[in-house]
Amino acid sequence: MEKIGEKSPLSASLCLHQRQMIRQGIRRILVISGDSRWCQQQALILAQLLPGDWPWIGEAGSAQTKIIPTYAAKTLLGQEKMHAIFDATTAFDIEALAVLAGTLRAGSWLLLLVPKWSHWPMLIDQDSRRWCGQEQAIATPHFIYHFQRQLLADNEVAFWHQGHCPILPLTESRPPRRGIDGMPTSKQQAILDRLMRAESGVWVLMAARGRGKSTLAGMLVTQWPGTCWVTARSKSATQILYQQVTKKAVFWAPDALLIFCRQHEVSQVDWLIIDEAAALPGSLLSALLAYFPRILLITTVQGYEGTGQGFLLKFCATLTHCQYLTLTDPIRWAAHDPLERVLDHALLLNNPSKSKTGDEKREQGSLKIIRIAQNEAWQKSHLLRDFYGLLSNAHYRTTPLDLRRLMDAPGMHFAATLADETLVAAIWLVDEGGLEETLARDVWAGRRRPRGNLVAQSLSAHSGQWLAPILRSRRISRIAVMDKWRRRGIALRMVLAEKQTAQQLDFLSVSFGYTDELSAFWHACGFKLVRIGSHKEASSGCYTAMAILPLSTAAKTLCQSLQQQWVRDRIWLPQWQCYPFPINKIEDRSLNDEDWRELTGFAYAFRPLEASRAALQRLLINSLLPLPALRQYLQQQLPIAEIIIHCHLNGRKALTSCWRQEVQQALLNLDKSRHDVWRKWVME
């Protein structure tokens, strides 16, 4: 291990750099590359040399350092730190890296620990198990090469490779940063003046990290003559906001606040301020807005803090009297900050598609659809930037994690529509299905949940179609068209082109947040709606809908079965009542073979109650047994807590077990021979 003393050249150089960084109001990244143990040792030594907070994010570290797992990185949102360590030697979670960087104040070093530079692209990345759709982690060469190129292209990135001397950037001449005196900037003051005059309404303050959003909210709380309440994902997320508050401002946990509002009068509260609003479910936000005359929602839309673009594209679009505010200039660090710049370039944050709009009057015949090969195309940085930028601007689900997925996950397919070499539309598809029969039956039974196969598994696990994961399909994950090129049939042409390339598959599929407009589009493309989820998504505020475009005979049979089941079950599923499916005029209360299979799967395997609800309702009609736990829940609609008390049970797990036992009794009582046949099928 290289020795670094307090008087070593590196120590002196780092201290000199930091003093200058503080004066200039900037932050920098130091990439430490080598064996995992060596990287961690150097990071610990540097942390001892430079006083600071030094949060360490990663899966490994030292007993001297408190490690924050990458999955817990979001707990740092809304906080400020001096210096930090991010360990990417075995797993590289880029969302956690973005969160950590956003907490660092001016003068900070971010130490990024990575494997040996030349080996890194071909090493297994343990973080890939979250997003690659495979059971085993994979190497991610395309993204790592891209990330390395961005680091090397920036002359203010510092490097320290094992076995070599550190390479620190030349100190550049920058003007000293204007000191922060606690007074609002001119843009902050202009927004504050508007909010102070507000009589009612919803205000949305959006900006990138470090722009002074939370600080401005704290100023509003201090200056407002009346009562302000604050809520956020966690109290720690409001750290910066409360640094500006000079009077008492009550903080509420979001769920507790909603319960309180439903039980008490809150008309005395003038403002509800919701920090990191995009980290909260849309349904919870909508419910809270009804109780307060003035609401300030504070958020970024970069995607790593919660629902990302969904907050802007979906939730805010539903607000009738919403006023948007924004801050562009950084407050916590200087403009052109080296750390922000290199991560923006590498992770494509704050990087909307830069494609030109093209000639909007150009004839459709001039448009061409090109296929994009994953192993070649992303080496062209402009194509990656434009493709990902278009998806980020147009689609509420797109997050930085998708950058990893589109660059390296297996089974990905891409195409784009060009107008004079300008990218105006993009489509992204994912291979699904092809599971072995044994695994497919385990998926249906709830015994296995292999990664990937979103629609194929859902049609089995939630809609009871156990054959769905066996069929080979391709899911449309994203499709987007630039604003000025919409309403020209471009998306329809792209979907039909994908249909032609997928003739060897059984079906195409799509999962989307249900709206009448989207449903009509997919219907025009030939898709059949086959499933509506039971709960609204946090990211869209909509129920999840799934549709398929059958290509093979087997898929057509599957589609017909799903739609027939929907018609038959609709009366028992309230969330389906408003969707465009025919209703059986004569209610079918009998138990058919599909019901017996579903009920036996619930009784003897792990089928969820929500998936079995319609069959369970028909069972209760046909059974003469008391079945108290089931009847109290499904027929009397009593709360879970009351049923547990009535049935003398010990918690939710015991209640679920009781439900399954009651179904076993009912099936045996109805027809033992039929029960035995289906139990054998389920247990095989």
Collapsed DSSP state (helix, strand, coil) of residue 419: strand
Helices (H), 328-453: 338-347, 374-377, 381-394, 400-408, 437-445
Percent of the chain, pLDDT > 90?
62
Phi, psi of 452 (to 5 degrees): 80, -170
Residue with tokens 């202009």: 190
Q: Residue 172 gets which letter from DSSP? A: P
Mind listing the pLDDT tens digit for each residue in 660-681?
A: 999 999 999 999 999 999 999 9
Q: Is the per-residue pLDDT at 61 higher than 80?
A: no
1 band by pLDDT with thresholds 50, 70 and 90: very low
Mind listing the pLDDT tens digit for each residue in 527-566?
A: 999 998 877 775 556 788 999 999 999 999 999 999 999 8
DSSP letter string, 39-69? HHHHHHHHHHHS-S---EESS---TTS-EE-
CA atoms within 13 A on the CB side of 27: 27
Helices (H), 224-253: 239-243
Phi, psi of 356 (to 5 degrees): -75, 155
Spatial distance between the Cα atoms of 291 and 287, rounded to a whole number of angstroms: 8
Residue 7 has a pLDDT of: 52
More confident residue, 356 or 75: 75
226 band by pLDDT with thresholds 50, 70 and 90: very high
| Average pLDDT score over residue span 434-451 | 94
Q: Is the per-residue pLDDT at 396 higher than 60?
A: no
- Average the pLDDT over each of 7-21, 446-460, 627-641 and give the range with the smallest value: 7-21
Residue 3 has a pLDDT of: 44
Q: Is the per-residue pLDDT at 202 higher than 60?
A: yes
What value does the mean pLDDT of the chain take? 88
Mind listing the pLDDT tens digit for each residue in 278-324?
A: 778 777 888 899 999 999 999 876 655 544 455 555 677 777 778 98
Cβ-proximal residues to 434 (8 Å cutoff; 6+ apart), any chain:
469, 470, 471, 472
In this structure, the number of other CB atoms found within 10 A of the CB of residue 200 comes to 10
What's the token pair of residue 553? 């005979």
Nearest Cα to Cα of residue 169 among 313, 21, 268: 21
Spatial distance between the Cα atoms of 547 and 519, rounded to a whole number of angstroms: 9
Q: Is the per-residue pLDDT at 62 higher than 90?
A: no
Residue 365 has a pLDDT of: 54
Q: Is the per-residue pLDDT at 444 higher than 90?
A: yes
Residue 79 has a pLDDT of: 85
| Average pLDDT score over residue span 153-180 | 84
Helices (H), 446-515: 454-461, 490-501
Residue 577 has a pLDDT of: 58
Q: Is the per-residue pLDDT at 482 higher than 80?
A: yes
Can you say how many angstroms the Cα of residue 142 is from the centroid of all Cα atoms in its chain?
A: 22
Mind listing the pLDDT tens digit for each residue in 624-659?
A: 999 999 999 999 999 999 999 999 999 999 999 999
What's the token pair of residue 474? 């391709």
What's the token pair of residue 503? 């003739």
Residue 242 has a pLDDT of: 85
Q: Is the per-residue pLDDT at 382 higher than 90?
A: no
Q: Is the per-residue pLDDT at 422 higher than 80?
A: yes
The answer to whether 395 and 313 are in contact (CB under 8 A) is yes
